[in-house]
Amino acid sequence: MSEQTPPGTQVCGHGRGLFVAFEGGDGAGKSTQAGLLAGWLTEQGRDVVRTHEPGGTELGRTLRELVLHGPDGSVSPRAEALIFAADRAHHVATLVRPALERGAVVITDRYLDSSVAYQGAARRLGHDEVRQLSVWAVEGLLPDLTVLLDVPTGEGRARRGEEHDRLEREADDFHERVRRTFLDLAGDDPGRYLVLDATRPPEELAGAVRERVARMLEEAA
Ligand code: TYD
């Protein structure tokens, strides 16, 4: 959980770290699971960087405020897509890629698939166009593993409780398109995804994530 590798910390053995993204609708429990995985890996003596989008960097925190906390209608759909892509470009260039290069495990709460699902599908800006924009922004860096925490739309809304950002305020059909798109992305590339039913108890979910990540780390060693 540091920007420098502390002495004696284990790094991944294949000259590059491991990049894990947590994705899912609002209220799926991504932060909880990202935190549990980071804590477990840290206990194993791993160099772990836990981060999130939007807002994982100083520039990102300003962009996050602009894109999420204005009144409805304050950011046009294409500007929204570009702001998320700008946040991601800076996040990868200054934090994610340097950490991977020194052999850390990087765990991010949301990444590129969130843009494909929210801006590409739910805002109807186009799956391929939005994906290409982000792939360009990050110079092609994709996660080694994406954990998709799938939660039914109504359940996600109930868990979120009070609505607090522009995206969360969108109607259920918007969130339904987000959910479908995440599931389709995972279905198209099953080797790079772990899809979990987010209504299962948190400890069970954490166990499934640990098992998959432990296997990947062993293979990389
Ligand atoms: P997040 O920080 O995960 O939400 P929380 O408020 O629970 O901490 O994400 C904020 C919102 O941003 C969420 O509704 C999803 C949205 N989002 C996009 O629309 N596109 C993106 O590319 C990303 C990263 C997030």
Give the Å distance between the CA of 100 and the centre of ligand 1: 23
Residue 78 lies in a domain: yes
Residue 14 in this model has a pLDDT that exceeds 50: no
- Residues 169, 74: Cα–Cα separation, whole Å: 14
pLDDT at 1 over 50: no
Q: Is the shortest distance between the CB of 81 and ligand 1 below 6 Å? A: no
Higher pLDDT, 162 or 79: 79
Report the residue among 50, 57, 68, 182 best suited for mutation to probe ligand 1: largest number of ligand atoms under 8 A from its CB.
68
Q: How many domains is the chain built from? A: 1
Residue 6 lies in a domain: no
- Amino acid 6: pLDDT: 55
For the chain, give the mean pLDDT.
92
Output the pTM of the full model: 0.93
User: What φ, ψ does residue 162 adopt, rounded to 5°?
Assistant: -65, 135
Question: Is 61 inside a domain boundary?
Answer: yes
Classify residue 10 as exposed, middle or buried by CB count within 10 Å of its CB (0-12, 13-18, 19+): middle
Containing domain of residue 67, as a range?
18-220
| Nearest atom within ligand 1 for CA of residue 110 | 24
Task: Return the percent helix, strand and coil in the chain, to nearest 5.
Answer: 55, 15, 35
Which CATH number do you get for residue 61?
3.40.50.300
Confidence (pLDDT) at 25: 92
